[in-house]
Amino acid sequence: MDDIESPTPSGHKPKTRKKYGPREGTAQRRQDVLNAAMQVFGTKGFHGGTLSDVADLAEMTQAGVLHHFGSKDNLLRAVIDYRDNVDSSVAHAAYGIDFFRHLVATVQLNTTRPGIVQTYVVLSAEAVTEGNPGADYFTGRFEGLRDLVASQIRELSPQDNPLPDRQLQAAASNIIALMDGLQVQWLLNPGLVNLVDDTVFGIDAILRAVAAGAAGRHIVEAQDAAADT
């Protein structure tokens, strides 16, 4: 669109008002809303944070927020999708031990972006509450991650004495729990928890157990309640 001339008194040079392209302006405003929503949901949660909070932080009206996303539920899904796009942590092209090295590299990156980590921690915890619109996403995310991590653990399991699938799934669940749990502890006390070193220690311990194979000796055994009675 051409610049628009403002009517001025006779003898004065007309002023021009710069107009930005509609696509550029819309994309930027949408990004402003996403950034604001990540901060609001990360500090107040989905239920505690309001569209008014997001609008104030994005310096627009609540109607403007709804214009871009339609509803608060849609905004939450967009924040989750944006977080995943920023956090391209799991490289499907990496295999075996390189896959786990990539996980550690992602943890290192996360230490530089606590805001994104906090948003993920808060939204994933809230997903267990009744009627939360993020529940389906996080359920599917954990299922997909377990399958992906288990497939990479299988690459490290000894071929002559491999772990059964149930233990592969358990190892995968433990690595995911380790990474998510350490993030919470690190956010609460970054001076005490070394996110990278502690993650390396935990993943290494799990992978050593995997390398021992099905015949590996467990230090801690689950007790059979029926046998104890």
| pLDDT (average), residues 177-187 | 97
Q: Would you state the pLDDT for residue 19? A: 45
The structure tokens 């031990």 sit at 97
Beta strands in the chain (DSSP E): 4-6, 15-17
pLDDT tens, position by position, 131-160: 998 899 999 999 999 999 999 999 998 888
216 burial via Cβ count (<10 Å: 0-12, 13-18, 19+):
middle
What are the tens digits of pLDDT across the range 67-101? 999 999 899 888 888 877 765 544 556 788 999 99
Domain ranges of the chain: 20-83, 87-217
| One CATH from 1.10.10.60, 1.25.40.10, 1.10.3720.10, 1.10.10.10 for 20-83 | 1.10.10.60
Count CB neighbours of 24 within 10 A.
9
Consecutive H or E run containing 129: none
Distances (CA, A) of 90 to 13, 19, 181, 198: 58, 41, 18, 19
What would the pLDDT profile of 36-76 be if each residue is shown by its tens digit?
Answer: 998 898 888 888 899 999 999 999 999 999 999 999 989 98
Q: What is the mean pLDDT of residues 192-198?
A: 98
